[in-house]
Amino acid sequence: MIRLEHISKTFHPGEAPEIKALDDLNLNIAAGEYLVVVGANGSGKSTLLNLLAGTYPPDRGELYIGTEAIGHKAEHERSRYMARLFQNPLTGTAPELSILENFRLAALRTSSKKLRIGIDAQFRQSVASSIARLGMGLENKLAQPMGQLSGGQRQALTLLMSVQADCQLLLMDEPTSALDPRNAELVMELADTLIREKALTAILVTHRLKDCVQYGSRLILLQEGRIAKDLSAAEKQQVTLPEIYNWFSGA
Amino acid sequence: MNAAFLLTALMQGLAFAGLGCGIYLSLRIFKIPDITTDGSYTLGGVVTAIGLTAGVHPLLSMCLAVLCGMLAGACSGIIHTKLKVNALLAGILVMTALYSVHLILLGRPNLPLIDTPGFLHDLPFGSALSKTLLSLLASLLLLLGILHYLLRSDFGIAMRATGNNEAMARAMGINTDTMKVTGLALANGCIALSGSLITRYQGFADVNMGIGIVISGLGAVMIGETLFRKGGGRSILRQLLALATGCILFRMAIALALSAGVDPNYLRLITSLIVLTIVAIGQYRQPAAP
């Protein structure tokens, strides 16, 4: 469903130090696949997600969703296909807007924002029942500004928001790195449940090796902007935590 | 200090509602310190004066003034988003350029409104004063009504998200550049409305009428916020009521200073000091983090 063909991205070209973040990368992601990406700092993981999301265009190569080339579409245009969970749990929500208003935007992610009052009793009800599954009691605080919630709560809500509108691809950029272990667990569990429930295609970039053993249907290791290892679901089940750890020490 | 004096301050406050709304939109909703304000306020006055003098219907003159203000705001927005110029600088550029535009349009620095129709002139009853008061009050209510609807609409939520968290807004499919241009256009349309109303109220347009007006708008916004800070959520309605109150109280404060015998030449100094005081109070009364 998602294809990356000969993607290269260099930062500060011609200057020292020139940083080759991705180097002629080819990657095919099937619909419904849950791809986990690991790699050392500077291996190109974040660049990969940013290129998919449209933060910047690739220098060379093309990206496809289905048969559509999206390499040079702006970020806000690509949001029609994908939702994103950021590394900073505060990035995915607007702090001065209420929980309800944040969810309203999420529900309109793939459509236009018109001059009509879209928040009605029915919408309020549907958001409340969606949030109730978190078991955080937030369904009774829909008018509360998002900024008053904790990072863990906000990341969990961001995750729920991503499935409010049709979502073909879920991008997760170290979504738990700023959360305490309990909240990290909760967010990963919720992501896993939603991905199964909605049959989403998902990409998770993570440094938590435990997560890349536990979650996902495919595992790749990036090294210096190239795919160094690519494990299918079956292979991934065989791999152990120490083995993955050794990938990083160059063994 | 007599009743007539207070009434004058009240009417000026009502006429300033557009200015307050404009600053609220640019500074509070979009977090952009927009100096285009000084220019678009004068532009509103200049266009209105020219329209009225040429015999254009007052309402049409006012609409033209608002449209010109929106155009000025859109220019700043486009310079800021498309040419990637700092928002503050973009506003200063447009404001400076507008100064020449005003002189070209007027052909001279000042245009008095002689024998032009007053507010609601075609209404056969009511005194000139009551008609003026009614018109200004109606413009305030209309503005607040429009903003109250706009900011709660889906489009308005997208506007607010753009100013509040741009990365999130883009991820929600919002073209934040277009949104900022639209927002600055709306803000400066409101501000031009103020310039238009004040020009009719005071009976002349002057190329210098807008100098430092952005500070007056800021003062109005901040007085309201300081007063309405205690208790309750910050619903849109509450914010807009605070804004309207702030506009009127700010003019009252200025009127009070003048009636206390302050030399009108010191007016901008006094204005700056009043705003500085409000800002300082606001800083000291920051609510504790939740």
Give the CA distances from residue A215 to residues A43, A53, A136, A193, A204, in Å, rounded to whole numbers and listed in that order. 21, 22, 24, 11, 9
- Chain A residue nearest residue B153, CA to CA: A117
pLDDT in tens, chain A (251 residues): 899 999 999 998 887 778 888 999 999 999 999 999 999 888 889 899 999 999 999 999 999 998 899 988 999 999 989 999 999 999 999 999 999 999 999 999 999 999 999 999 999 999 999 999 998 999 999 999 999 999 999 999 999 999 999 898 999 999 998 899 999 999 999 999 999 999 999 999 998 888 988 999 999 999 988 999 899 888 888 888 888 888 887 64
Answer yes or no: is B270 within a domain. Answer: no
DSSP readout, chain A? -EEEEEEEEEESTTSSSPEEEEEEEEEEE-TT-EEEEEE-TTSSHHHHHHHHHTSS--SEEEEEETTEE-TTS-HHHHTTTEEEE-SSTTTTS-TTSBHHHHHHHHHTTTS---SS----HHHHHHHHHHHHTT-SSGGG-TTSBGGGS-HHHHHHHHHHHHTTS--SEEEEESTTTTS-HHHHHHHHHHHHHHHHHTT-EEEEE-S-HHHHHHS-SEEEEEETTEEEEEE-HHHHHH--HHHHHHHHTT-
- Which chain B residues are within 8 Å of A52, Cβ to Cβ? none
Q: What is the pLDDT of residue B255?
A: 86
Distance from CA of A50 to the nearest CA of B (A): 12
Q: How confident is the model at residue B289 (pLDDT cuts 50, 70, 90)?
A: very low
Which residue in A94, A108, A148 is closest to B165 by CB distance?
Answer: A94
Answer yes or no: is B62 within a domain. Answer: yes
Distance from CA of A9 to the nearest CA of B (A): 21
- Is the dihedral angle over the CA atoms B66, B71, B76, B81 positive or is it negative? positive
Q: Where are the beta strands (DSSP E) in B8-62?
A: none
Q: Do B171 and A79 touch (CB under 8 A)?
A: yes
| CATH code for the domain of A30 | 3.40.50.300
Answer yes or no: is A130 within a domain. Answer: no
Residues of A at the B interface, defined by Cβ within 8 angstroms: 53, 74-77, 79-80, 83-84, 86, 91-97, 101-102, 104-106, 108-111, 113-119, 143, 145, 147-148
Which residue in B154, B167, B173 is closest to A104 by CB distance?
Answer: B154
Distance from CA of B89 to the nearest CA of A (A): 25
Answer yes or no: is A119 within a domain. Answer: no
Answer yes or no: is B132 within a domain. Answer: yes
Record the tokens describing residue B133, joined without a space. 């008061």
- Which chain B residues are within 8 Å of A91, Cβ to Cβ? 165, 167-168
Model confidence at B283: pLDDT above 80:
no
Q: Do A97 and B150 touch (CB under 8 A)?
A: no
Answer yes or no: is B12 within a domain. Answer: yes
Q: Do B167 and A95 touch (CB under 8 A)?
A: no
* Domain enclosing residue A64, as ranges: 2-96+166-248
Domain count within chain A: 1
Buried b / exposed e over B212-239, threshold 16 CB at 10 Å, is ebbbbbbbbbbbbbbebeeeeeeeeeeb
* Domain enclosing residue B181, as ranges: 8-114+124-211
Which residue in B152, B153, B168 is closest to A92 by CB distance?
Answer: B168
Answer yes or no: is B252 within a domain. Answer: no
Answer yes or no: is B276 within a domain. Answer: no
Q: What is the pLDDT of residue A236?
A: 87
Answer yes or no: is A200 within a domain. Answer: yes
Answer yes or no: is A39 within a domain. Answer: yes
Domain count within chain B: 1
Q: Which of B20, B87, B38 is nearest to B225 (CA)?
A: B20
Answer yes or no: is B279 within a domain. Answer: no
Distance from CA of B152 to the nearest CA of A (A): 6
Which of B146, B157, B166 to mutate to test binding with chain A, by most A CBs within 10 Å of its CB?
A: B157
What confidence tens digit (pLDDT) does each residue in B56-108 have?
Answer: 999 999 999 999 999 999 999 999 999 999 999 999 999 999 999 999 999 99
For chain B, the average pLDDT equals 91
Rounded distance between C-alpha atoms, residue B34 and residue B49, angstroms:
24
Model confidence at B1: pLDDT above 70:
no
CB atoms within 10 A of CB A34: 22
Q: Write down the pTM of the prediction.
A: 0.90
- Chain A residue nearest residue B157, CA to CA: A101
Answer yes or no: is A10 within a domain. Answer: yes
- Chain B residue nearest residue A165, CA to CA: B172
Distance from CA of B182 to the nearest CA of A (A): 13
pLDDT above 90 covers what percent of chain B? 71
What confidence tens digit (pLDDT) does each residue in B102-159 have?
Answer: 999 999 999 999 888 888 887 788 888 899 999 999 999 999 999 999 999 999 999 9
Answer yes or no: is B286 within a domain. Answer: no
| Apex B49 CA angle, B45 and B52, nearest 5 | 135
